[in-house]
Amino acid sequence: MQNAALIVVDVQNGFTPGGNLAVANADQIIPNINQLGQHFDNIVITQDWHPQNHVSFAENHPEKQPFETIELDYGTQVLWPLHCVQGTADAELHPDLDLPKAQLVIRKGTHAHIDSYSAFLEADRKTSTGLAGYLKERGIARVFIAGIATDFCVAWTAIDACKLGFQTYVISDATKGIDLHGSLQHAWQDMLAAGVQRILVKDIIQQQASSTL
């Protein structure tokens, strides 16, 4: 697919059943993602990669519980269970993920005092991962986003992609959401309002077959 990239967000042990921050049935999207990978020449994978003392971990805040919030310099931060700690099995890509053509892995959330949902910008909205420059240098104009979780890292990545000038699609049957207090519906509203287009796996395959993408 010309001038397009598939961005696969955080398909890791930590976010799939058995992981420390498992999203229900998230492993069920992996076959769809693997199928999509056969139709893209440009594939980027993101990986949550936190230090043990990361600011987003509830255990690092006495008297706080997972899924409560705190206020940081850059705004409201959800506190999460310990997950995807650097170098642990929880942080590894899911063993069923099969994307041999992937060229780049972006590790995010590596700075102890800043969370990072988006593949493009950390939560302070200033610290860049370098992904936008990488894609633009390669002549990529369109990005198709899959992965976990729809309402957090996928949504932030998609909205940033739109802001950065990419034609942006989220593949709804190749994503899974946490849906924390209605967050999934809100995320889709925010994405669509930002200009993100919603698409299905079959649409991509059919449209590529007819050479309209």
Q: Exactly one of 108, 151, 160, 176 is catalytic; name it.
A: 108
Told to judge if 108 belongs to the known catalytic residues of this protein, a careful annotator would answer yes
Sign of CA dihedral 116, 118, 121, 126: negative
Helix (H, G, I), strand (E, B) or coil at 57: strand
Q: Exactly one of 10, 115, 151, 160 is catalytic; name it.
A: 10
Radius of gyration of the chain (CA): 16
Told to judge if 153 belongs to the known catalytic residues of this protein, a careful annotator would answer yes
Helix (H, G, I), strand (E, B) or coil at 90: helix
DSSP letter string, 141-181: -EEEEEEE-IIIIIHHHHHHHHHTT-EEEEEEEEEE---ST
Sequence letter at residue 13: N
Told to judge if 41 belongs to the known catalytic residues of this protein, a careful annotator would answer no
Helix (H, G, I), strand (E, B) or coil at 32: helix
Sequence letter at residue 95: P
Q: Which residues are known to be catalytic?
A: 10, 108, 153
